[in-house]
Amino acid sequence: MTTHQYAQPMLPWLLAGTLDDADLAAVEQHVAGCAQCQADLAWQRQLRAASAPPASGCDADRALAALLPRLGAQAPRVGMLARWRNAVAANDAWLRWAAGAQLAVIAALSLLLLRPAADTDYRALGAAPPSGSVVVTFRPDTPEREIRRILQANNARVVDGPTVTDAYVLALPATKTAAAIKRLRAEPAVTLAQPLTAGDHP
Amino acid sequence: MHGSVDASDARLVGQVAAGDRQAFERLYRGYFPRLTRFLNGMTRSVPLIEEIVNDTMLVVWQKAHSYDGSCKVSTWIFAIAYRKACKAIKGLDDPVDTDPDQFEGDICFDPVHELDQHRLQRAIGAALEDLPPAQRAVVQLTYHHDMGYADIAAVMDCPVNTVKTRMFHARRRLRKLLADQLEEGS
Ligand SMILES: [Zn+2]
């Protein structure tokens, strides 16, 4: 096999920068002295630059909203408490993410947390939420600092969320949950505040 | 080459395996643009692309526990997407068995010498669509998803030589189809 026959098929990956070190050294060395491979590379460079697929008009929010109900029926069997522990452990990461996330409350909230069936669901998973847990959603245009102010005013800690519907699970001081929910519901920015604790449903 | 990205991807897959929906959403949003770009090269239908992405990510949700780290997360997810796409666009030719010359003369471009970039892109898009889907996939994964031939072989579940052969046929075919549009290097 000549070097040209070895190098020629590799040119696309030389151009894309994905050859491993051994290939790279051999192919580069050949190309340096081969006018035909150089011409081929120049041609491929034009092709690559002009062939980037156009934007498709796909919408991540729309597609994800269509997918989420399908997850529910087939979710891995993991208790809510375990999920919350994970969420708290990953707190920093998701807070940074949440700050950048678009706040858009979608009516499909019921699909995720509040539907009575879903409620039954996670009790069937064996973990009752801790007392003082509340699901809250905010108006889509609520600034992050306003959300923070509301949380601080109520001694609330975020333990999960935002979900795709921008619902947050808050931990509130257990003895003052009812009063805090009242205050939360009185906030203009809060569109929904609902206790999660078993037996605490209105 | 995307070492840190892949490490955080792998961590997300681990969280998804534990049923973490937030991790799943992050993984979904992270891969959505890449998968739609890839699938857009395979099929031009927006609803179909979103459906294939969702079928793909549903498998990721269900099978996250079976991901063993033996390949990159991106390779694993693209492999699922490629299989879903093949299924969705049925009648996938195996380009290794396809004589690339059988398409000779199917498409004839007007010999326009002063194409602007937009028209050039359209011409290339049309030429790419003329390729068998498996060749199209190799071109896309090579040029636009920074995958090496070994990764592509893993995605397409075929030997490395098949990847090189598909790319070789694709280049030859594109060179013919685009003879009027792209200057030969000199
Ligand atoms: Zn050469």
Summarised one tens digit per residue, pLDDT across range B158-171 is: 999 999 999 999 99
Q: Comparing A163 with A60, which gets the higher pLDDT? A: A60
Nearest to B130 by CA among B101, B90, B97: B101
Q: How far apart are CA A22 and CA B92, in angstroms?
A: 34
Q: Which of residues 145-164 of A touch B (CB under 8 A)?
A: 160-161, 163-164
pLDDT tens, position by position, A154-190? 888 777 666 655 667 778 877 778 888 888 888 878 8
In the numeric block, which tokens belong to residue A15? 């151009």
Residue A190 confidence (pLDDT): 83
pLDDT band at A149 (very low <50, low <70, confident <90, very high): confident
CA dihedral B75, B78, B82, B83 (to 10 degrees): 70
C-alpha of A138 from chain center: 18
Q: Is the pLDDT of residue B179 over 70?
A: yes
Tell me the two tokens of residue A43: 């041609």
Q: Are A42 and B129 in contact (CB under 8 A)?
A: no
ipTM of this complex prediction, to 2 decimal places? 0.75
Residue B31: φ, ψ to 5°: -95, -15
| Cβ atoms < 10 Å from Cβ of A94 | 21
Under 8 Å CB-to-CB from A132, ≥6 apart: which residues? A171, A172, A173, A174, A177, A197
- Mean pLDDT over B13-33 rounds to 94
**Cα A81 from Cα B45, distance rounded (Å):** 41
In DSSP terms, which residues pair with A190 in a beta bridge? A138
Residue A119's pLDDT band (cuts 50, 70, 90): very low
Does this model's pTM top 0.90? My answer is no
For ligand 1, a single-atom ion, the residues with CB < 5 A are A 4, 34, 36-37
Instruction: For residue A168, list its beta bridge partners.
Output: A136
Scanning B96-125 for CB atoms below 8 A from A yields 117, 120-121, 124-125
Give ∠ CA B23-B29-B31 in degrees, rounded to 5.
100
Q: For A26-49, how does the pLDDT look when each residue is reduced to its tens digit (9 = 90+)?
A: 999 999 999 999 999 999 998 998
